[in-house]
Amino acid sequence: MLKEKIKFVRRNYIVLYSFLLIAVIVGVVFSGNYYSLKKFQYNTDKLLQSKAVLAEDIFSTLISNDIDLNNTEFLNQKIDKILENDSEIKKIELLVPEKNTESYKIIASSDPENIGGEIDNELARMAFSNDSGIAFLNNDREGRYWEVIKVVKSDEGKRLGIISLQMSLVEHDNFIENSIQKVYIVLSILMLLVLLVIANHVRFFRYALKATKLEEVDKMKDDFISMASHELKSPLTSIRGYVEILKESIKKDKESDDNAQILENIESSTLRLNNLVTDLLEVSKLEQNRMPMKIESIDLNKIIESVVSEISINAQNKKLDLIYKKLEKLASVSADEKRVKQIVINLLSNAIKYTPKGKVEITVKEENRNVTITVADTGLGISAKNLKNLFSKFYRVKTSETDKISGTGLGLWISREIARKMKGDLTVESIEGVGSHFTLKLKKIKK
């Protein structure tokens, strides 16, 4: 199974391209989010550093005016007040230099146990001699924090001591970590969805390949039908010609009645085969969009009168009334004259063929934008079930009355396709046992 999939991907490199493209998209999304979070963390670190320095400045200002180095209770109250207002401050301590030593004594602290302790720290000495103070990131078991050490001066500028402040980054780091975890979760879900899309894509790709192959097979079928129809056309024409010659010879020989009947059967079969070949050619042209169309302004009255004149003999042979309700002032339509005539001939021939008795009536009407030609008969009619498939290729209504009536089942499909290619349509209304109404709709030419 795995080997087949690998072969499939090799044959269809576009699938691999899709994988690569999706991986790049996910990578870009991940990198963008990761960079944004890191940039956010850097900026917030700087912000917290500024906040720590600001907190120390505030404390320095509070104690510089009325500092009493011996009043540790007052100093610790100041520290407690600052801690109450800012939960992110981890520790504050006030240190003063010891006389004749390089160490510093803690006189006030957020941790009472540290009060009175001494610190001999190089950073403290550097901060005491540096007006701008020192700030740096530090880390312990509890997490990261900003440590700021700043000198405290009196109003006269005398250096009194230093303040050491620790600003915790635990909440900030937790927020960043949670944000990164959420990004990972979102990206994992995104990756899962992408994999599902890929799986679906591969499946649709298979369908596309099958559809392409089917189209190729369909085209081969159409090409074969077109070729076969053309090849059959010539011998059929020759056969019909020879049949006509034989019929003329047999007419002169009155004792050849049996041969005459045989020739009639041959001619009938040849005619049916010729009609089938002609219809197959038409189908092939329509499906391959190769049927020529000369769309122009045409006179429907002239076309219908011509068709009625040709078809009337068929109606007379069946003792049917063929009625054409002519509309004298009929608007011109935009269509192909030859193809309109072909459709009308097909509709009238079918109406006469499927009408045992009664009449076939042709009515022309003008609508807002269209002209309609309706061929109504009093024939066999069509059931609601058969109406659904009436315009399908090779479909014929199968009843005891239609069994003996010849036909290819392509005429109506061809007629409707031609009508639609001329921006019109062909519709039907029918009641079984009552008759049918076929309506050809064509576009009226705007004046």
Residues 100 and 123 in one domain: yes
pLDDT at residue 258 is higher than 70: no
Number of domains in the chain: 3
Residues 114 and 69 in one domain: yes
330: helix, strand or coil: coil
DSSP 247-264: HHHHHH-TT-HHHHHHHH
Per-chain mean pLDDT for the chain: 78
pLDDT at residue 361 is higher than 90: yes
Q: Provide mean pLDDT across the span 413-438.
A: 93
Residues 10 and 156 in one domain: yes
Residues 13 and 162 in one domain: yes
Residues 337 and 362 in one domain: yes
Choosing from 168, 196, 219, the residue where a domain stops is 168
Dihedral (Cα; 399, 402, 407, 409), 10-degree rounding: -30
Closest C-alpha among 74, 76, 77 to residue 93: 76
Among 270-274, 281-285, 358-362, 414-418, the minimum mean pLDDT is found in 270-274
Q: How many CA atoms lie within 13 A of 432 on its CB side?
A: 11
CATH number at residue 100: 3.30.450.20
Q: Which residues contact 294 (CB under 8 A, 6 or more apart)?
A: 336, 337, 338
pLDDT band at 122 (very low <50, low <70, confident <90, very high): confident
Choosing from 262, 287, 312, the residue where a domain stops is 287
CATH number at residue 239: 1.10.287.130
318 or 13: whose pLDDT is higher?
318
Angstrom distance (rounded) from CA 151 to CA 160: 8
Residues 162 and 125 in one domain: yes
335: helix, strand or coil: strand
Residues 371 and 277 in one domain: no
Q: Provide mean pLDDT across the span 82-87.
A: 74
391 or 212: whose pLDDT is higher?
391
Residues 112 and 206 in one domain: no
Bridge partner residues of 138 (DSSP)? 145
| Residue 365, amino acid | K
Q: Which residues contact 38 (CB under 8 A, 6 or more apart)?
A: none
Q: List the domain range (segments joined by +) for residue 265.
A: 177-287
CATH number at residue 439: 3.30.565.10
Angstrom distance (rounded) from CA 105 to CA 120: 9
pLDDT tens digits, residue range 48-70?
Answer: 666 656 555 655 555 555 556 66
Residues 148 and 69 in one domain: yes
Helix 337-353 and helix 300-317, axial crossing angle in degrees, nearest 10: 30
Among 18-27, 177-186, 221-230, 361-370, the minimum mean pLDDT is found in 221-230
Do residues 403 and 391 make contact, with C-beta atoms less than 8 angstroms apart? no
pLDDT at residue 207 is higher than 70: no
Angstrom distance (rounded) from CA 146 to CA 49: 6
Residues 128 and 221 in one domain: no
Residues 25 and 140 in one domain: yes
Residues 49 and 122 in one domain: yes
Choosing from 287, 317, 334, the residue where a domain stops is 287
pLDDT tens digits, residue range 215-235?
Answer: 766 666 666 666 666 656 666
Q: Provide mean pLDDT across the span 237-245.
A: 72
pLDDT tens digits, residue range 92-116?
Answer: 888 888 877 778 888 888 888 888 8
Helix 411-421 and helix 337-353, axial crossing angle in degrees, nearest 10: 150
Do residues 171 and 44 make contact, with C-beta atoms less than 8 angstroms apart? no
Residue in the structure block whose two tokens are 């999706």: 22
Q: What's the pLDDT score for residue 378?
A: 94
